Structure 1
Amino acid sequence: MAALVIAIQSMLSAAEPNALQLYQREPSKGDGKYANMVYFVNWGIYERDFQPQDLPASSITHVLYAFMNVQEDGTVFTGDTYADLEKHYEGDSSLTSTVTHDLWRLRFANASFMANAEPINPL
């Protein structure tokens, strides 16, 4: 998993030198000691009917949104385009275009990364 995170960070960096910095936000400080991260999965909007607006935003510092899949060749893709890109929520008029733009950047960064990547020996 750590290798995947490093690979994605490398892909974003290859796409645009400041890509990581553009999307890093200062987390709410809370008590300054802890980060309270929650894992939000795209499939939770269906049977569980748990929507992003149901998150207790005042008590969390980070949301980890799980929506990308990785093929064996390293290609990154969305597993559920409706949940990830098509479903709209009140007040998110610019969200879809931002996410779509970012996915295209990630796709091109992935192609660049894979073209220059050296094989990694599995542990």
Structure 2
Amino acid sequence: MPKISSFSPAPPLLCTPAASTIFPFLSAIRDIAQEYEVIKQDYWAELTTQKTDLITALQNASSQPDTIGVGSIVAHADPYRTLYVERGEVVEDLGEEVVVAWDHWQNQSKKTDRYFRDELRFWQPQ
């Protein structure tokens, strides 16, 4: 019968040489975070109500993802489609889908088409 070799797993991350360089870095980050928490209260206390309201509004707005809706300027999300570089405007919201009027179809009889939101992206000039 053949002898089965013993298997030993790789050493855990804490025992690797890289860990000795990571821990001081993480410790420095923790120290900075703690210092920030201490001065944050003093800093916020010095702000006017108008400034704190503005900061809060900006934080809330930046945490909400942009949603494609009526009036959004879009392009197709698939880079292999010709509509990827074309510009269109969402003209109707159908719930799950939206209707897009493509700028380059203005001279054609069919001016709009329906798409799911995940098929589109916000248009960015090249």
Indicate the TM-score class for this superposition, using the shorter chain for normalisation.
Answer: under 0.3
Larger strand proportion of the pair = 2
Tell me the TM-score normalised to structure 1 length. Answer: 0.23
Larger-gyration structure (1/2): 2
Q: Which has the higher contact order (CA 8 A, sep 6+)?
A: 1
What TM-score, normalized to structure 2? 0.23
